[in-house]
Structure 1
Amino acid sequence: MSVNHGANLYDLSKKYGFSKDDFLDFSSNINPFGASQLAKENIINNINQVSIYPDPSYVNLKASISGYCNCSTENIVLGSGATELISSFIETINPKKALLLSPAYSEYEKELKKAGCVIEKYYSKSENNFKIEVSKLIETINSNKYDLVIICNPNNPTGFAFNCNEISLLLKSISSFVMIDETYIEFTNTTEFSSTNLVDNFSNLFVIRGTSKFFSTPGIRLGYGLISNSKIRDNINSHLDLWNVNIFASLMGEVMFKDLNFINNTIDVMTNQRNLLINELSKFKNLNVYDSQGNFILCQIKTKNITANELREKLIPNRIIIRDCSSFDGLDEYFFRVCILKPEDNLLLLDKLNEILN
């Protein structure tokens, strides 16, 4: 993992002499409570399926996703992680000119550059608390005739999210394709903010989700995309490898999207802990703390007597890792991001930040 995608615990373990399991990684945005127990048991109970090929149509997996996202099974595209689907979609539509809402995940720009696409950026501003007015965004898109607009919703790293009504208005008002990355949507009110229920009605919409963050399963590499445009969907599927989702990813997915206890408990705890962290961090006189709909919080050091990277380095000997956000285009060296971990870990973070910053 590059420095642009969070901490490399293996390298840090060697450098500082800690076990990688000892670190409290506030940089990775992964659900700290682990994966669904029911999903893990489904693998254990079906371990002998390692000797057979997965169902090439993934009927059970798609049915589980369809119920979870309230969309048609025929509009589901499966990938080995969300990044594969980002790449496949951009390669398929081959945009000549794209608008990227920034700051943003670096893989979008990387894949656009591979396609030789002209990239323009629409920056959210700290002075506006990183909020974006959809009417102004629509005006910009229509005046520049973009082939593709890329939105991370909620945005990583700012935490801002468009609600479903705003996305619906956007889709009705423009002719561009819109790719919405909903990697972090499940940490917020999906009824209010998710676009999955719009997919069946808008042919210019592609919604991408992964399972690494909310379901805490980065190791199985399972992602899925939702799109009703049959021409593009069939083209994407024709370029994906047969059995690109392994048998264990399929087995977990068939169960975890239906595990309502896991889903609801995660939402409750993470929402409460996010509110606590935002409230407590906002008490620091030398921090600007931005509201978030994700499982992470963006902060800005106001005093300028310590950079985010220097703060990160001071925390590492305490086995705490935060995300220096200077690599995000549009953010300077005083921005950092923390994700939500377990209650006791969040309290420890606050204590150590207080020691260093106050």
Structure 2
Amino acid sequence: MDWPSHGSNPHYLYEAMNLPFPEERIDFSANINPLGPPPILIENWGELLHTVTQYPDPAGRILKKKLSAQEGLQENQVLIGNGGAEIISLIGRVLAGKKAVIVQPAFSEYEEACRVNQCKVQYHQLHADSWDWRNDDLSGKLMNADALFLCNPANPTGVFYPKPVILHLLEECRRNDCFLIVDEAFYDFLPEYESIAHYISKYPNLLIIRSMTKMFAIPGLRLGYLLADSAVIKRVAAFQPHWSTNALALKAGEWCLESESYIKETIRLIERERQRLFYFYQERNLLVSPSSTNFYLLKDPSIQDQLPFLQFLVNRGIVPRHTVNFPGLEGGWLRFAIRGSGDNDRLMEGVDEWISSRR
């Protein structure tokens, strides 16, 4: 089966499974804020029309200034991009021909960006018993590595690795003259996140990738950024085409940074719904990853391959993310975004129907 390589765009999943595309469906495969875009963006959207007649600022200076002030960095330590995906692609160009270690399971685009640039790729595989580190094994892999990719919170597990873990990795990487590339695409869903951006001054080998599309529910606009030492930013930016970020996205990004109450409301919603869902799964003896963010892995332990579970839900218009192309998972789990209470209610109904069907 030709599985789609990403969540969202559920019609690709239905095509791959040779199923009719239902008119009514709930997409749990895309990890987007269930509240939708922040009110400031909705209320002022009409003001953006005039920007489409002008070229955007190729440096995104206004947004860059706001981001650098937010993180306590210099403007030359920030690079704005066409989503986190472009930043990952640009980093791949910098690493061309080098050796990268990827903490797996992980977002597939790290490996894609490395391999298209003829990098040698090695996995550091985490396992479902704890999703925890095996430090001795990782240390050996870093001895000849040029970069270590880590998603934190991790996609697809949702597991968050706290600051002491990151600092340990930073020291390990520095000793081995190795970049530590931390993808924080979902950091802003964490209620007690502590920024590591200020460590860039001490660790010029630290690169932090951020996305604004998940929290602010603007994946169609494509907006992300990189935080790193100014010399690293210069190297990465050398591969970026002019005007890679459009004017609509740049202005939307400025407004989104003003949405503190919306972010707090989102975190409260995700926390409440995650606790409710996890209690439901525990009561039904289903396995769930110890996620701290807005998505999680789910497994029915009575079956090894979760394809029947996936098919059952998809036939009812409930669309999870398959895990066939995640190394170490290979279809043994399903990933779900945390949506609003009504959608989560429908998911729980579908799960109960699945459990009843097996009896």
The question of whether the paired residues in 2 share the 8 Å contact of 1:131 and 1:160 is answered with no
Question: For residues 17 and 162 of structure 1, do their structure 2 counterparts lie closer, same or farther at Cα, with a shift above 3 Å needed?
Answer: closer
Describe the superposition over 1:59-100 as per-residue Cα deviations: whole angstroms up to 9, x where unpaired: 211122224434332211111111111111121133522111
| Structure 1 residue 205 displacement after superposition | 0.8
SS in 2 for 1:255: helix
CA distance in 2, matches of 1:100, 1:17: 35
Aligned match for 1:191, one of 186, 193, 196: 193
CA distance in 2, matches of 1:10, 1:170: 39
Equivalent residue letter for 1:328: F
Equivalent residue letter for 2:287: N
For residues 1-358 of structure 1, the aligned pairs below 5 Å read 3-11=4-12, 12=14, 16-19=20-23, 22-94=24-96, 96-127=98-129, 129-132=130-133, 135-136=135-136, 139-142=139-142, 144-175=143-174, 176-189=178-191, 191-192=193-194, 194-228=195-229, 230-285=230-285, 287-304=286-303, 307-358=305-356
Equivalent residue letter for 1:101: V
CA distance in 2, matches of 1:164, 1:74: 24
| Structure 1 residue 197 displacement after superposition | 3.1
CA distance in 2, matches of 1:116, 1:355: 47
| Structure 1 residue 265 displacement after superposition | 0.8
Question: For residues 147 and 325 of structure 1, do their structure 2 counterparts lie closer, same or farther at Cα, with a shift above 3 Å needed?
Answer: same
CA distance in 1, matches of 2:171, 2:9: 42
Question: For residues 71 and 41 of structure 1, do their structure 2 counterparts lie closer, same or farther at Cα, with a shift above 3 Å needed?
Answer: farther
Structure with bigger helix share is 1
Identity %: 27
The question of whether the paired residues in 2 share the 8 Å contact of 1:81 and 1:222 is answered with yes
The question of whether the paired residues in 2 share the 8 Å contact of 1:64 and 1:258 is answered with no
Where does the alignment leave 5 or more consecutive residues of structure 1 unmatched?
none
Equivalent residue letter for 1:148: A
Equivalent residue letter for 1:184: F
Describe the superposition over 1:180-209 as per-residue Cα deviations: whole angstroms up to 9, x where unpaired: 1111111113533x4333233320011111
Greater shift after overlay, 38-47 or 118-127? 38-47
- Number of aligned positions between the proteins: 349
Equivalent residue letter for 2:118: G
The question of whether the paired residues in 2 share the 8 Å contact of 1:43 and 1:251 is answered with no
SS in 2 for 1:298: strand
CA distance in 1, matches of 2:247, 2:32: 22
SS in 2 for 1:324: coil
CA distance in 1, matches of 2:335, 2:161: 20
Equivalent residue letter for 1:18: P
Equivalent residue letter for 2:209: I
CA distance in 2, matches of 1:356, 1:25: 18
The question of whether the paired residues in 1 share the 8 Å contact of 2:187 and 2:193 is answered with no
The question of whether the paired residues in 1 share the 8 Å contact of 2:27 and 2:318 is answered with yes
Describe the superposition over 1:189-238 as per-residue Cα deviations: whole angstroms up to 9, x where unpaired: 3533x43332333200111111221111111011111111x333112222
The question of whether the paired residues in 2 share the 8 Å contact of 1:42 and 1:252 is answered with no
Greater shift after overlay, 29-38 or 197-206? 197-206
CA distance in 2, matches of 1:7, 1:55: 30
Question: For residues 41 and 47 of structure 1, do their structure 2 counterparts lie closer, same or farther at Cα, with a shift above 3 Å needed?
Answer: farther
Question: For residues 190 and 251 of structure 1, do their structure 2 counterparts lie closer, same or farther at Cα, with a shift above 3 Å needed?
Answer: farther
